[in-house]
C-alpha cells in the first residue's frame, strides 16, 4: 500500500471539498447570514485537515494500483461525508453527530433519506449545502477532482471505475481527464436546462436550484416537507419527472447526441431495457391508482402521478408526491422491485443498474435453456456484442452480495427493536439503492432510529453508491498489510 | 494529436507509453480482450476491442478524425490492410510495421498503392544500425545525421584516453593535435549532462561525440582506439535481423559465419545467402564457438530470439577477447546491469521501431514552423538529438551563437553548411538552409522555435 499517495489524494479531495462549501456560504451571506459562521468554520476545518495531508505527504512513486485506487475511493467518500457533516452540526440544524453524519452521507450518496422532521425552519445556506452534496455526489468527487486538478494524471482508470455507477466504464474521450471534463459539462448543461425550466414554472431561483440539484444527482432532498408536491403545480411535477428520467440515463449517450451520433441513442440496449421497465411500472401503477378515491378515474392526473412515482423510484431520486404507505400492496411491491433495479450505467442514479438486471435475466434464461438443450453453445449478448464470462460471473456475485447486504442490514438494525419488519428491510433496501424513502416508519424521516442503526444505514448508502466493493475492501485486513 | 494504435503488443504498448508522455490522445485497438484490459488498467487511453483491419472497428475507434494510424500487430498483412482502410476512412497519415523480407522487396510499390506513409521494418533498421557499428568498431553506439555527413558516436572513457580529467575548454590547448569534435552528451551514474566548457570527462563515463566521419575516425585514432576495419564476423541466431545484416555487410567485404539451431532454417539461410558460412548448431555452446574460431573474430553478434541468451553469449565472447560485441536485447531494464558488466553495444529492434515512429509523429505536430527532420534518442531516451533545417527569415540568422537565447539544457551541436560540417563555437552563426543538430535533455520538443527563442 502506497500510504503517502493515498494521504496526498485524500488531502487534495478535502481541499476541494472546502472550496465546494463556498457557494453555500455565499448563499448564506446573501440571505441573512444566520448560518454563515457555521459554514465558514466547517470550510476552514476541512481546509486545515486537507492542506497538511496534501503538502506533507510526498509519495516516492505515483504508481496507482487497483488496490490504492479502491482504497482512495472508499476513504475519500468516508472523509468527505465526515467533513460534509460539519455544517449541519455547527449550525445547530442537526445537533446530534450521528444525525449530521447520516444527512451528509445521504446527501453525497444521492440517497435523499433525511433526519429532518421539522421543515418549518430551514437555514438557507446549510439547506443549500445539503442539496449541493447531491449535485456533487451524483457525478462523483474523484471524477471532479480528475477534471480540474492538473497533477491528477497517470493510472487513474481505477479511481473513475470505482466511482462511476455500473459494471463498465464509458470513456467518451481517450484521456480520462478530457472524458471527465466532457461528462461534467454535459451534467452541468442538463442541470442548467432544468433550472431554467423550473424558473419558467414559476419557482423562485432558490427553490428551483434546490429541486434541480436534488433531481440532477437523483438524490431527492427538498426544502419542503411535502417535497415536490409542496408547489402544487402539475408543470413542476412534469419537469421533475422528465429530468429524473433523463438523469437516470447514461450521460455519455448525451455526448453521442451532441456530436450527432443519435443512432447510439436508438441502438442502446440498456436504454431500451430502462424505458421498458419504466413503461411496465407506469402501466401497473395506472391500474392500481385509477380506482383510488383520490384519483377517481381522472386519467390525466393519474397518468401524471404514475409517471412521477415510477421515475422517482427507478431513478432512485425518492422525491415524494405522496406517502408511500398509502399505495395498494401491489404497487408497493413493484416499488420494491424498482428500487432493486435502479437506473442505467453511467448515470447519477443508484440501484443495481439496468445493465446488470438485463444481464442477470439473460444469464438465467441461458441456464434454463441449458438444462433442456445441454449441447447448445449459447453466448449472452448485450449492446450487440458477446459478454465476457468473467463479467457475467462478477455480475452474479454483485447481485448476491447486494441482496445479502439488504438482508444483513435489515437483520442488524432489527436488534435495536424500533420498527417492524417492513420498515427495517425497506429502510436497508432504500439506503443501499440510494432511493430515500421507504415503507412503514421510514416513509418520511429516519429520525426514529437509534445512533447505531444510523451508522449502519450510512455504511449501506456508501456501499450502494460505490457499488459495494470499494467499501467492503476497507474491511479486508490484507489490503492494509504489506507493500 | 488523435492517434490510433492497432495492436497492443510489446511495440504497441511501448509506443503508447511514449506517445502518452507527449500528451497525445490515444485509441488502442486489439483483438485480445485480456491484453486490452491490462492496457486499459495501466494507460490513460481509450480501448476498442476488435480487428484493426475491420472498417467498423476503425470507425468505432474514430478513424475519420484521426491524425495518425499506427498498425503494429504481429501480422504484416493486417497492418497493411489496416492502413489501407484507415486511409480510405479519413486518417491523415498511416504507419505500418512490415517485417517480412518478401514484402520488403516490393516495399515502394506496396507503400504507394496502399497509402502507407511510413513503413517501419524493425529488423532491417536494427541490421542497419549494427552494420554502422561494424564500420566504427570503437564506438558502442552510432547514429548518422544530415544524410550521413555527421556521425554521432558513443564511447566509454577509459583510463588511457587522453581526454580524461581535463576541462573541455582547455583540451585543444593541451593537446594541439586533437581533432575538433563536439562533446554532445555524457552519462555518469545514470545522470545525463549536456557538457559545458567547464566539464571534465572521467573514467567510466559514456561520452557522445559528434563530427564528420573523417574527423571522428582520426579523433579515435588520436586517443588510441583500434580503428581497423572489421573483417571477420560471427553471428548467432539466424532470424530476420541476421538475414538483413548479412545482406548489408557481405557486399562490404566482411566474412560472415552464422550459427542457427534450427536445421530447416539453416538450410534456407544457406540457400538465400550463398556467401555466408551457415552452421547448424547451438550458438550458446561454448565449445562450438571455440571450434569455429571465436577468438579470431573481429566481431561477435548475438541475435537469437532470447535476450538472456544473447547477453550471456555476448559476455562470453567479450571474455574471449573478441574486439567488438553487439547483442540484441529488447529489455530496457537489463541495459543498466549489463553496461556495468562491460557490454556497451546493445540493439533493441523494438526501441528502434518506436523511436522511428515517434520521430515521424513529432514531425507531424507543428503545422507550421520548423519540423524535426530526424530524432535520435540517446541513453534510453534520457537525451535527444534533433535535426532541423534552418528556415529562411528566422530573426536569429547571422547572430553569433553565444548571443542566442537557448532553451535550458539544450545546445547547437553541429552545423552543416553546403555539405561542410562545422563544430560550432560561440562566435559561429547559422544561415538559412543550414542543417543543425540540437542536443537536449528535454523530451517532446518538436519545433525549432521551442529551442531557440527569437
- Mind listing the pLDDT tens digit for each residue in A433-469? 999 888 988 888 898 899 999 999 999 999 999 988 8
Q: Do B44 and A158 touch (CB under 8 A)?
A: no
When CB atoms are compared, the residue of A157, A158, A175 closest to B25 is A175
Flag whether pLDDT at A119 surpasses 70. yes
**B27 touches A at CB < 8 Å:** yes
Within an 8 Å CB–CB cutoff, is residue B1 touching chain A? no
Q: What are phi and psi of A400, to 5 degrees?
A: -65, -45
Question: pLDDT at residue B306 above 80?
Answer: yes
Which regions of chain B carry the CATH code 3.30.70.1450?
141-222, 361-453
| pLDDT at residue B234 is higher than 90 | yes
Which of A83-92, A240-249, A375-384, B423-432 shows the lowest mean pLDDT across its residues? Answer: B423-432
Q: Residue A215: is its pLDDT beyond 80?
A: yes
**Per-residue pLDDT, A469:** 86
Q: A451-455, B265-269, B410-414: which has the minimum mean pLDDT?
A: B410-414
Closest Cα in chain A, distance from residue B26 (Å): 6
All 3 cell numbers of residue A450? 437509534
Measure B11 CA to nearest chain A CA, in Å.
Answer: 19
Q: A142-156, A195-209, B162-176: which range is least confident on average?
A: A142-156
pLDDT at A153 over 70: no
Q: Do A176 and B44 make contact, defined as CB atoms within 8 angstroms?
A: yes
**What cell does A51 get?**
492542506
**Residue B152: pLDDT over 90:** no
The verdict on A173 touching B (C-beta cutoff 8 Å) is: yes
> Residues A97-111: what's their mean pLDDT?
94
Helices (H) then strands (E): counts for chain B: 16, 24
Phi (first) and psi of residue A172, to 5 degrees: -100, -10
The complex scores an ipTM of: 0.74
Name which residue leads in pLDDT, B170 or B254: B254
Q: Is residue B105 scored above 90 in pLDDT?
A: no
Query: What percent of chain B clears pLDDT 90, i.e. is strictly above it?
Result: 20
Nearest chain B residue to A160, by CA: B41
pLDDT in the model for residue B293:
87
The pLDDT value given to residue B412: 84
Task: Report in angstroms the alpha-carbon separations of A229 from A206, A233, A296, A323.
Answer: 17, 8, 19, 11
Residue B359 has pLDDT above 70, yes or no: yes
> Bridge partners of B421?
B416
Q: Is A171–B26 a contact, with Cβ atoms under 8 angstroms apart?
A: no
CATH code: domain B141-222 is: 3.30.70.1450
Q: Best of B36, B46, B57 to disrupt the A interface by mutation (most A CBs within 10 Å)?
A: B46
Q: Nearest residue of B to residue A156 by CA position?
A: B44
**Which residue on chain B is closest to A256 by alpha carbon?**
B60
User: Model confidence at B370, in pLDDT bands (50, 70, 90)?
Assistant: low
Cα separation of A410 and A393, whole Å? 26
Kindly state the percentage of chain B with pLDDT values over 70: 98
Query: Do the Cβ atoms of A174 and B46 come within 8 Å?
Result: yes
Residues of A in contact with B33 (CB under 8 A): 388
Asked if A156's CB is within 8 angstroms of B42's CB, the reply is no
- Whether A174 sits inside 8 A of B45 (CB atoms) is yes
- Mean pLDDT over A325-339 rounds to 92
CA angle A119, A121, A125 (to 5 degrees): 105
A155 pLDDT more than 70: no
Please list every residue in chain A whose beta carbon sits closer than 8 Å to the beta carbon of residue B43: 155
* Nearest residue in B to A261, CA atom: B60
Give one DSSP letter per residue of B129-166, joined into a string.
HHHHHHHSTT-SEEEEEGGGTEEEEEEE--TT-TTBTS
Residue B347 gets the label, from left (phi > 0), alpha (psi -120 to 50) or beta, of beta
Closest residue of chain B to A69, computed from CA coordinates: B41
Instruction: State phi, psi for B143 to the nearest 5 degrees.
Output: -145, 140
B chain contacts of residue A259, beta-carbon cutoff 8 Å: none
Question: Does the beta-carbon distance from A173 to B42 stay under 8 Å?
Answer: no
| pLDDT value, residue A151 | 63
- The boundaries of the domain holding residue A397 are 388-480
Question: Do B189 and B234 contact (CB within 8 A), yes or no?
Answer: no
Average pLDDT over residues A230-234: 89
Q: What is the mean pLDDT of residues A364-389?
A: 88
Instruction: Say how far apart CA B112 and CA B39 lie, in whole Å.
Output: 32
Distance from CA of A161 to the nearest CA of B (A): 10
B-chain residues near A171 (CB < 8 A): 46
> What's the rounded mean pLDDT across residues A143-156?
71
Q: What is the mean pLDDT of residues B251-270?
A: 91
Torsion angles phi and psi, residue A346, rounded to 5? 75, 15
Q: Which residues of B touch A66 (CB under 8 A)?
A: 41
Interface contacts A/B by beta carbons within 8 Å: 30
Closest alpha carbon within chain B to A171:
B46
Stretch(es) of chain B classified as CATH 3.40.50.720: 2-120, 229-322
Contact A62/B at CB under 8 A:
no
- Selected residue of B44, B46, B63 to mutate for chain A interface (largest A Cβ count, 10 A): B44
Which residues of chain A does B59 touch, with a Cβ-Cβ cutoff of 8 Å? none
Does residue A275 fall inside a structural domain? no
> CB–CB of B278/B266 below 8 Å?
yes
Q: Which three cell numbers stand for residue B234?
A: 560471427
Q: What is the pLDDT of residue B441?
A: 81
Average pLDDT over residues B105-132: 87
Contact B25/A158, CB-based, under 8 Å? Answer: no
Half-sphere exposure of A78 (CA within 13 A, CB side): 14
Q: How far apart are CA B436 and CA B417, in angstroms?
A: 9
Portion 31-60 of B in contact with A at CB < 8 A:
33, 40-46
| Residue B128: how many other CB atoms lie within 10 Å | 16
Domain B2-120: which CATH class? alpha beta
* B366 pLDDT higher than 70: no
Q: Which residues of B touch A156 (CB under 8 A)?
A: 44
Q: Which residue has the higher pLDDT, A300 or B149?
A: A300
Identify whether A433 is part of a domain: yes
Residue A232 lies in a domain: no
Mean pLDDT value of segment B227-241: 87
Verify whether the Cβ–Cβ distance B44 to A153 is below 8 Å.
Answer: yes
Enter the C-alpha cell of residue A65.
494500483
Residue A418: predicted pLDDT: 83
Report the residue from A171, A178, A388 with minimal CB separation from B33: A388
Options 3.40.50.300, 3.30.70.1450, 3.30.70.20, 3.40.50.2020; CATH of B361-453 = 3.30.70.1450
Q: Which of residues 66-125 of A touch B (CB under 8 A)?
A: 66
What pairs with residue B279 in β-bridges?
B259
Q: What's the total number of domains in chain A?
A: 1
Asked if the Cβ–Cβ distance from A155 to B41 is below 8 Å, we say: yes
Q: Is residue A446 part of a domain?
A: yes
The answer to whether A171 contacts chain B (CB < 8 Å) is: yes
The minimal CB distance from A174 to the residues B25, B33, B42 is found for: B25
Beta carbons of A388 and B27 less than 8 Å apart: no
Q: Does A150 touch chain B (CB under 8 A)?
A: no
Strand partners, B247: none
Question: What mean pLDDT is reported for chain A?
Answer: 89
Give the minimum alpha-carbon distance from B23 to chain A in angstroms, rounded to a whole number: 9
Between A33-37, A63-67, A199-203, the lowest mean confidence (pLDDT) is in A63-67
CA–CA gap between residue A323 and residue A219 (Å, rounded): 17
pLDDT digits (tens, 9 = 90+) for B6-28: 999 888 888 888 888 878 889 99
* Cell numbers standing for residue B181: 569534435
Task: Tell which A residues from 347 to 406 touch B, by Cβ distance under 8 Å.
Answer: 388
pLDDT at B378: 76
Superfamily holding B229-322: NAD(P)-binding Rossmann-like Domain (3.40.50.720)
**Closest C-alpha among B206, B203, B202 to residue B191:** B206
Of residues B27, B41, B42, nearest to A174 (C-beta): B27
CB A72 within 8 A of CB A159: yes
Does the CA dihedral A296-A297-A298-A303 come out positive or negative? positive
Question: Minimal Cα distance from B66: which residue of A?
Answer: A174
- Map residue B212 onto helix, strand or coil: strand
CB B444 within 8 A of CB B365: no
Q: How far is B57 from chain A (nearest CA, A)?
A: 12
Cβ within 8 Å, pair B44-A388:
no
Task: Give me the phi and psi of B406, to 5 degrees please.
Answer: -95, 150
Quickly state the pLDDT bin for A152 (edges 50, 70, 90).
low
Of B26, B41, B42, the CB nearest to A174: B26
A414 part of a folded domain = yes
Average confidence (pLDDT) over A159-183: 80
Residue range A238-255: mean pLDDT, rounded: 93
Amino acid at each position: 500500500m502506497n500510504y503517502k499517495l493515498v494521504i496526498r489524494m485524500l488531502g487534495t479531495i478535502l481541499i476541494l471539498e472546502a472550496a465546494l462549501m463556498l457557494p453555500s456560504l455565499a448563499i448564506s451571506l446573501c440571505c441573512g447570514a444566520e448560518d454563515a459562521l457555521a459554514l465558514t468554520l466547517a470550510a476552514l476545518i476541512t481546509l486545515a485537515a486537507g492542506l497538511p495531508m496534501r503538502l506533507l505527504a510526498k509519495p516516492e512513486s505515483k504508481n496507482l494500483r487497483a488496490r490504492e485506487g479502491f482504497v482512495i475511493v472508499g476513504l475519500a467518500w468516508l472523509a468527505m461525508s465526515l467533513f460534509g457533516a460539519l455544517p449541519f452540526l455547527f449550525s445547530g440544524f442537526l445537533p446530534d453527530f450521528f444525525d449530521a453524519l447520516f444527512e451528509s452521507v445521504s446527501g453525497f450518496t444521492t440517497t435523499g433519506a433525511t433526519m429532518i422532521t421539522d421543515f418549518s425552519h430551514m437555514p438557507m445556506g446549510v439547506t443549500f449545502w445539503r442539496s449541493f452534496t447531491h449535485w456533487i455526489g451524483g457525478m462523483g468527487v474523484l471524477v471532479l477532482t480528475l477534471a480540474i486538478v492538473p497533477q491528477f494524471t497517470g493510472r487513474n482508470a481505477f479511481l473513475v471505475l470505482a466511482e462511476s455507477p455500473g459494471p463498465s466504464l464509458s470513456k467518451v474521450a481517450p484521456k480520462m481527464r478530457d472524458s471527465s471534463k466532457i461528462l461534467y459539462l454535459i451534467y452541468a448543461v442538463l442541470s442548467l436546462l432544468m433550472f431554467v425550466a423550473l424558473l419558467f414554472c414559476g419557482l423562485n431561483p432558490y427553490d428551483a436550484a434546490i429541486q434541480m440539484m436534488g433531481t440532477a444527482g437523483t438524490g431527492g432532498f427538498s426544502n419542503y416537507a411535502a417535497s415536490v408536491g409542496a408547489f402544487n403545480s402539475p408543470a413542476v411535477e412534469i419537469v421533475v419527472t422528465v429530468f429524473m428520467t433523463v438523469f437516470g440515463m447514461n450521460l455519455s449517450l448525451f455526448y453521442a447526441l451532441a456530436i450527432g451520433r443519435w443512432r447510439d441513442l436508438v441502438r442502446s440496449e440498456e436504454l431500451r431495457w430502462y424505458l421498458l421497465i419504466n413503461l411496465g411500472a407506469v402501466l401497473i401503477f395506472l391500474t392500481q391508482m385509477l380506482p383510488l378515491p383520490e384519483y377517481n378515474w381522472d386519467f390525466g392526473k393519474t397518468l401524471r402521478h404514475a409517471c412521477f412515482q415510477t421515475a422517482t423510484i427507478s431513478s432512485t431520486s425518492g422525491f415524494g408526491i405522496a406517502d408511500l404507505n398509502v399505495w395498494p400492496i401491489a404497487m408497493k411491491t413493484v416499488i420494491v422491485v424498482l428500487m432493486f433495479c435502479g437506473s442505467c450505467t453511467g448515470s447519477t442514479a443508484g440501484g443495481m443498474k439496468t445493465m446488470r438486471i438485463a444481464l442477470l435475466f439473460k444469464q438465467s434464461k441461458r441456464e434454463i435453456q441449458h438444462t433442456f438443450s445441454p449441447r447448445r453453445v449459447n453466448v449472452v449478448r448485450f449492446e450487440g456484442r458477446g459478454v465476457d464470462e468473467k463479467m457475467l460471473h462478477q455480475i452474479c456475485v454483485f447481485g448476491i452480495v447486494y441482496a445479502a447486504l439488504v438482508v444483513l442490514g435489515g437483520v442488524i438494525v432489527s436488534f435495536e427493536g424500533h420498527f417492524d419488519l417492513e420498515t427495517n428491510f425497506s429502510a436497508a433496501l432504500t439506503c443501499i439503492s440510494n432511493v430515500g424513502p421507504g415503507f412503514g416508519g421510514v416513509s418520511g424521516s429516519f429520525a426514529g432510529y437509534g445512533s447505531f442503526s444510523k451508522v449502519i444505514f450510512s455504511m449501506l448508502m456508501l456501499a450502494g453508491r460505490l457499488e459495494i466493493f470499494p467499501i467492503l475492501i476497507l474491511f479486508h485486513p490484507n489490503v492494509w498489510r504489506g507493500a | 494529436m488523435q492517434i490510433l494504435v492497432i495492436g497492443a503488443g510489446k511495440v504497441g504498448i511501448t509506443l503508447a507509453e511514449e506517445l502518452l508522455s507527449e500528451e497525445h490522445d490515444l485509441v488502442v485497438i486489439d483483438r485480445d480482450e485480456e491484453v486490452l484490459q491490462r492496457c486499459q488498467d495501466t494507460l490513460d487511453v481509450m480501448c476498442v476491442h476488435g480487428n484493426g483491419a475491420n472498417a467498423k472497428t476503425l470507425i468505432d475507434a474514430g478513424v475519420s478524425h484521426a491524425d495518425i494510424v499506427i498498425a503494429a500487430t504481429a501480422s504484416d498483412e493486417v497492418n497493411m490492410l489496416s492502413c489501407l482502410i484507415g486511409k480510405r476512412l479519413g486518417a491523415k497519415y498511416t504507419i505500418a510495421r512490415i517485417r517480412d523480407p518478401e514484402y520488403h522487396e516490393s516495399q515502394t510499390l506496396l507503400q504507394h498503392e496502399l497509402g502507407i506513409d511510413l513503413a517501419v521494418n524493425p529488423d532491417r533498421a536494427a541490421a542497419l544500425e549494427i552494420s554502422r557499428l561494424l564500420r566504427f568498431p570503437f564506438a558502442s553506439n552510432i547514429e548518422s545525421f544530415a544524410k550521413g555527413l555527421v556521425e554521432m558516436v558513443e564511447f566509454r572513457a577509459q583510463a588511457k584516453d587522453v581526454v580524461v580529467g581535463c576541462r573541455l575548454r582547455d583540451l585543444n590547448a593541451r593537446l594541439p593535435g586533437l581533432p575538433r569534435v563536439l562533446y554532445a552528451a555524457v552519462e555518469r551514474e545514470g545522470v545525463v549532462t549536456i557538457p559545458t566548457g567547464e566539464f571534465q570527462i572521467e573514467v567510466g563515463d559514456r561520452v557522445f561525440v559528434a563530427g564528420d566521419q573523417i574527423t571522428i575516425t582520426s579523433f579515435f585514432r588520436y586517443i588510441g582506439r583500434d580503428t581497423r576495419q572489421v573483417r571477420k564476423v560471427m553471428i548467432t541466431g539466424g532470424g530476420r535481423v541476421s538475414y538483413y545484416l548479412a545482406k548489408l555487410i557481405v557486399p562490404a567485404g566482411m566474412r560472415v559465419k552464422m550459427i542457427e539451431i534450427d536445421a530447416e532454417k539453416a538450410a534456407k539461410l544457406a540457400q538465400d545467402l550463398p556467401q555466408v558460412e551457415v552452421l547448424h548448431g547451438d550458438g550458446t555452446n561454448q565449445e562450438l564457438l571455440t571450434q569455429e574460431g571465436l577468438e579470431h573474430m573481429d566481431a561477435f553478434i548475438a541475435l537469437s530470439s532470447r535476450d538472456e541468451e544473447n547477453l550471456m553469449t555476448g559476455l562470453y565472447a567479450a571474455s574471449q577477447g573478441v574486439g567488438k560485441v553487439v547483442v540484441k536485447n529488447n529489455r530496457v531494464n537489463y541495459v543498466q546491469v549489463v553496461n556495468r558488466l562491460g557490454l556497451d553495444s546493445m540493439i533493441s529492434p523494438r526501441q528502434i521501431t518506436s523511436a522511428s515512429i515517434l520521430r515521424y509523429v513529432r514531425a507531424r505536430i507543428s503545422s507550421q514552423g520548423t519540423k524535426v527532420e530526424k530524432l535520435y534518442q540517446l541513453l534510453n531516451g534520457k537525451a535527444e538529438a534533433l535535426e532541423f533545417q534552418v528556415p529562411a527569415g528566422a530573426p536569429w540568422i547571422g547572430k553569433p551563437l553565444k548571443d542566442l537565447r537557448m532553451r535550458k539544457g539544450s545546445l547547437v551541436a553541429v552545423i552543416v553548411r553546403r555539405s561542410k560540417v562545422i563544430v560550432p563555437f560561440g562566435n559561429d552563426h547559422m544561415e538559412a538552409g543550414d542543417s543543425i543538430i540540437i542536443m537536449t535533455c528535454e523530451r517532446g520538443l518538436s519545433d525549432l522555435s521551442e529551442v531557440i527563442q527569437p
